[in-house]
Structure 1
Amino acid sequence: MSIRVACIGGGPGGLFTATLLKRYLPTAEVVLFERNREEDVFGFGVVFSDATLRRITEADPVLDDVLNEKGRHWDAIEVWSKGEKHSFAGNGMSAIHRKDLLRALQAKATEAGVELKFGTNVASHTELEGFDLIVAANGTNSLTRREIGEDVLGHEVVQAEAKFIWFATTRIFDGLTFLHRKSEHGSFAAHAYPISNELSTFIVEADEATWRAAGLDEFDVTQTPGPSDMKSKEYIEALFAEELEGNEIVVNNSRWANFSTRSTKTWFKDNVALLGDAIHTAHFSVGSGTKMAMEDAIILAQEVAKQPDNIPAALQAYQDIRKPAVAKVQNAARPSLSWWEHFGRYYDNLDPVQFTFHFFSRSINRDRIAQRDPELVAKTEAAWKDKYGADVEGTPITIAGTEFPTRVFQVADNALVAGDVKVALDAEGIAVLAAPEAAETIDAVVEKLPATGTVVIYGGDALNRRLLAEEARFARKLTVVLVEAADEDAAITTVLSGRADAVAQGEI
Structure 2
Amino acid sequence: MSASLSRIAIVGAGPGGLLLASLIAQSIPQAEVTVFERNRKEDVFGFGVVFSDATLRKIDEADSTLRSALTEAGTHWDRIEVWSKGERHGFSGNGMSAIHRKALLRRLQQSAESAGADVRYATAAPPLHELRASYDLVVGADGTNSTTRQQLEAQAPLGHSIETATAKFIWFATTHLFDGLTFIHRVTGPGNFAAHAYPISDELSTFIVETDEDTFARADLDTFDVSQPPGPSDEYTQHYLEWVFRDDLQGAELVGNNSRWGNFRTRRTENWGRDNVVLLGDAVHTAHFSVGSGTKMAMEDAIELAAQLTAVSKSEKDVDIALSDYVANARIPVNKVQTAAVPSLSWWEHFGLYQRSLAPTTFAFHFFSRSIGIDKIAQRDPQLATEVRDDWQRRHGTSAVDTPIEIAGVDLAGRMLEMTVTAGVATLHDRHGASAITPCIEVSADAVAADVDDLMDLLPSDGAVVIDGPPILARQLLAEQARLTRGLTVVLAGDDVANPVAAETMILAGRADATAVENGDDQ
Q: TM-score range by the shorter chain?
A: over 0.9
The alignment status of 1:491 with 2:499, answered yes or no, reads no
Aligned amino acid, residue 376 of structure 2: R
Deviation at 1:67, TM superposition (A): 1.0
- Aligned partner of 1:42 in structure 2 is 45
Q: For each residue in 1:93-145, what CA deviation from the matched residue of structure 2 results, as whole angstroms up to 9, or x when unmatched? A: 11111110100000000111111111110152222123111110001111111
Runs of 4+ in 1 over 4 A off after TM superposition: none
The count of corresponding residues between Structure 1 and Structure 2 is 504
Q: Could you tell me how far apart the structure 1 residues matched to 2:96 and 2:451 are?
A: 38
User: Which segments of 5 or more consecutive residues in structure 2 lack a partner in the other structure?
Assistant: none
The alignment status of 1:326 with 2:334, answered yes or no, reads yes
Q: Do the aligned partners of 1:123 and 1:143 also contact (CA within 8 Å) in 2?
A: no
- Aligned partner of 1:100 in structure 2 is 103
- Aligned partner of 2:391 in structure 1 is 383
- Aligned partner of 2:254 in structure 1 is 249
Q: Could you tell me how far apart the structure 2 residues matched to 1:467 and 1:194 are?
A: 32
Q: Could you tell me how far apart the structure 1 residues matched to 2:433 and 2:466 are?
A: 17
Q: Could you tell me how far apart the structure 1 residues matched to 2:465 and 2:225 are?
A: 44
Q: Do the aligned partners of 1:162 and 1:208 also contact (CA within 8 Å) in 2?
A: yes
Deviation at 1:475, TM superposition (A): 0.3
User: Which segments of 5 or more consecutive residues in structure 1 lack a partner in the other structure?
Assistant: none
Q: Could you tell me how far apart the structure 2 residues matched to 1:469 and 1:420 are?
A: 26
- Aligned partner of 2:146 in structure 1 is 142
Aligned amino acid, residue 393 of structure 1: V
Q: Could you tell me how far apart the structure 2 residues matched to 1:159 and 1:298 are?
A: 29
Q: Could you tell me how far apart the structure 2 residues matched to 1:413 and 1:193 are?
A: 48
Residues 74-153 of structure 1 mapped to structure 2, 5 A cutoff: 74-128=77-131, 129-149=133-153, 152-153=157-158
- Aligned partner of 1:234 in structure 2 is 239
SS at match of 2:401: helix
Rate the CA distance shift 1:472–1:118 in 2: closer, same or farther, 3 A.
Answer: same
Deviation at 1:421, TM superposition (A): 2.8
Deviation at 1:248, TM superposition (A): 0.4
Aligned amino acid, residue 138 of structure 1: D
SS at match of 1:480: strand
Rate the CA distance shift 1:163–1:123 in 2: closer, same or farther, 3 A.
Answer: farther
SS at match of 2:264: strand
- Aligned partner of 2:429 in structure 1 is 417
TM-score (norm 1): 0.97
The alignment status of 1:473 with 2:483, answered yes or no, reads yes
Residues 263-302 of structure 1 mapped to structure 2, 5 A cutoff: 263-302=268-307
Q: Do the aligned partners of 2:449 and 2:477 also contact (CA within 8 Å) in 1?
A: no
Q: Do the aligned partners of 1:170 and 1:199 also contact (CA within 8 Å) in 2?
A: yes
Q: For each residue in 1:388-428, what CA deviation from the matched residue of structure 2 results, as whole angstroms up to 9, or x when unmatched? A: 1100122000111111111112224653222233436xx3x
Q: Do the aligned partners of 1:124 and 1:143 also contact (CA within 8 Å) in 2?
A: no
The alignment status of 1:433 with 2:441, answered yes or no, reads yes
The partner residue of 1:445 within 440, 443, 455 is 455
Q: For each residue in 1:351-373, what CA deviation from the matched residue of structure 2 results, as whole angstroms up to 9, or x when unmatched? A: 11111110011011111111111
Deviation at 1:3, TM superposition (A): 2.0
The partner residue of 2:361 within 353, 362, 365 is 353
- Aligned partner of 1:457 in structure 2 is 467
Deviation at 1:46, TM superposition (A): 0.6
The alignment status of 1:33 with 2:36, answered yes or no, reads yes
Q: Could you tell me how far apart the structure 2 residues matched to 1:336 and 1:51 are?
A: 19
Q: Could you tell me how far apart the structure 1 residues matched to 2:245 and 2:514 are?
A: 36
Q: For each residue in 1:173-196, what CA deviation from the matched residue of structure 2 results, as whole angstroms up to 9, or x when unmatched? A: 011100000000000000000001
Q: Could you tell me how far apart the structure 1 residues matched to 2:64 and 2:145 are?
A: 29
Deviation at 1:505, TM superposition (A): 2.5
Deviation at 1:323, TM superposition (A): 1.1
TM-score (norm 2): 0.94
Deviation at 1:439, TM superposition (A): 3.0
SS at match of 2:163: strand
The alignment status of 1:20 with 2:32, answered yes or no, reads no
Q: Do the aligned partners of 1:263 and 1:279 also contact (CA within 8 Å) in 2?
A: yes
Aligned amino acid, residue 440 of structure 1: A
Q: Do the aligned partners of 1:400 and 1:454 also contact (CA within 8 Å) in 2?
A: yes
SS at match of 1:455: strand
Q: Could you tell me how far apart the structure 1 residues matched to 2:495 and 2:186 are?
A: 36
Q: Do the aligned partners of 1:259 and 1:283 also contact (CA within 8 Å) in 2?
A: yes
The sequence identity of aligned pairs, in percent, is 54
Q: Could you tell me how far apart the structure 2 residues matched to 1:422 and 1:405 are?
A: 8
SS at match of 2:291: coil
Rate the CA distance shift 1:2–1:260 in 2: closer, same or farther, 3 A.
Answer: closer
The partner residue of 1:177 within 173, 178, 182 is 182
Deviation at 1:500, TM superposition (A): 0.4
Q: Could you tell me how far apart the structure 2 residues matched to 1:193 and 1:147 are?
A: 37
Q: Could you tell me how far apart the structure 1 residues matched to 2:278 and 2:192 are?
A: 42
SS at match of 1:87: strand
Q: Do the aligned partners of 1:432 and 1:456 also contact (CA within 8 Å) in 2?
A: yes
Aligned amino acid, residue 306 of structure 2: A
Q: Could you tell me how far apart the structure 1 residues matched to 2:453 and 2:509 are?
A: 23
Question: RMSD of aligned C-alpha atoms?
Answer: 1.4
Q: Do the aligned partners of 2:419 and 2:516 also contact (CA within 8 Å) in 1?
A: yes
Q: Could you tell me how far apart the structure 1 residues matched to 2:213 and 2:433 are?
A: 45
Aligned amino acid, residue 401 of structure 1: G
Q: For each residue in 1:314-350, what CA deviation from the matched residue of structure 2 results, as whole angstroms up to 9, or x when unmatched? A: 1100111111211111111010001011111111111
The alignment status of 1:313 with 2:321, answered yes or no, reads yes
Residues 58-73 of structure 1 mapped to structure 2, 5 A cutoff: 58-73=61-76
